[in-house]
Amino acid sequence: MRQAKKRRGEGKHRPWPLSRRPGFLIRRLHQIHVALFQEACGEFEVTPLQYSLLSALAVRETADQTTLAADIALDRTTTTGALKRLAARNLVERAVNKDDRRARLCRLTPAGAALLVKIEGPARRAHRATLGDLSEREQTLFIEMMQRIVAGNPARDSATALFD
């Protein structure tokens, strides 16, 4: 009897389909969003991460790199690298903190603020396109569900509630 089941494949392990795995779908959705963002905002030569940093700086005006890393839920090393690239383009100013010479205080330059104004419309279109296959109500629910999942896992990232 056992051999008959094995031959018919009834005893085989069936892996969880990728199309049903939240992590896989979230990664695919991120890939889709990045592609849509690049299509909409490619002329500005800014990544979604850099756009997040520019946006966080617009809200805070001045912030150290550690605070900015927490705002966008990213590690300090990656955040510092992105800020250096933005500074090289004169979009962000990174000055040594007079109170703590190990820290850098960052702020938007006039060029960075101007770029942020220009990119805002195309970036919003990319975000809307990411959810474009959902109805308005579904989009609202989807955003609320993602916010609830993020809020329910505070120990798994260092993001602050800056943008609530």
Q: What CATH code is carried by the domain that includes residue 55?
A: 1.10.10.10
Residue 100 counted as domain residue? yes
Residue 139 counted as domain residue? yes
Q: Are 82 and 68 in contact (CB under 8 A)?
A: no
Query: CA 80 to CA 100: how far, in whole Å?
Result: 16
Q: Which position has the higher pLDDT, 96 or 135?
A: 135
In three-state secondary structure terms, 5 is helix
Residue 121 counted as domain residue? yes
- Give the per-residue pLDDT at 47: 94
- 164 pLDDT tier (thresholds 50, 70, 90): very low
- Give the per-residue pLDDT at 11: 72
Give which of 68, 57, 58, 33 is closest to 47, Cα–Cα: 33
| Per-residue pLDDT tens digits for 118-130 | 999 999 999 999 9
Residue 98 counted as domain residue? yes
| Per-residue pLDDT tens digits for 65-99 | 999 999 999 988 999 999 999 999 999 999 887 88
Residue 62 counted as domain residue? yes
- 139 pLDDT tier (thresholds 50, 70, 90): very high
pLDDT greater than 90 at residue 159: no
Q: Are 64 and 104 in contact (CB under 8 A)?
A: yes
- Give the per-residue pLDDT at 101: 78
Residue 131 counted as domain residue? yes
Q: Could you give the count of Cα atoms lying within 13 Å of 13 in the half-sphere of its Cβ?
A: 2
Domain extent at residue 128: 47-144
Mean pLDDT of the chain: 89
Around Cβ 18, how many Cβ atoms within 10 Å?
11
Residue 42 counted as domain residue? no
- Number of folded domains that form the chain: 1
Residue 17 counted as domain residue? no
pLDDT greater than 50 at residue 161: no
Query: CA 9 to CA 124: how far, in whole Å?
Result: 49
